[in-house]
Structure 1
């Protein structure tokens, strides 16, 4: 378990999906969605921006094929 956020563990496809879902969830708040969706959207945008997911680091998982495994 390594929580070094400078080591990326989110790949490009994962990053784009997280960013798109984050924007959609935040936008849904303004169209009658709940604030919980906006909070989840903000977390998704944050993880996409930093290219680091603490849950992935907890399980030593990475979708970034260019980086070394997080736990190594």
Structure 2
């Protein structure tokens, strides 16, 4: 589907940010809670898939391998 454009360091950072955001989701209240949920899910999804559509649109590639 999409070419991988997220490198291993980038994926690790995204996973950590996603986990922290989900912790905020479970501990916060109000609008911050829902923003944290969206950020957490997007970060974890892009880390798991290894692809980031905004990176593709901007021509950014942190992945050292092709494909």
Give structure 1 stretches of 5+ with no counterpart: none
- For 2:4 and 2:44, locate their aligned partners in 1 and report how far apart those are by CA, in whole Å: 15
CA shift, 1:67, in A, is 1.9
How many pairs align?
Answer: 64
Give structure 2 stretches of 5+ with no counterpart: none
Matched, 1:10 2:6: yes
TM-score where L is the length of structure 1: 0.81
Q: Once superposed, which parts of structure 1, at least 4 consecutive aligned residues long, lie more than 6 Å away?
A: none
- Superposed, 1:49-64 pairs within 5 Å as 49-64=48-63
- For 1:22 and 1:9, locate their aligned partners in 2 and report how far apart those are by CA, in whole Å: 18
TM-score where L is the length of structure 2: 0.86
- Taking only aligned residues, the RMSD between alpha carbons, in angstroms, comes to 1.3
CA shift, 1:42, in A, is 0.3
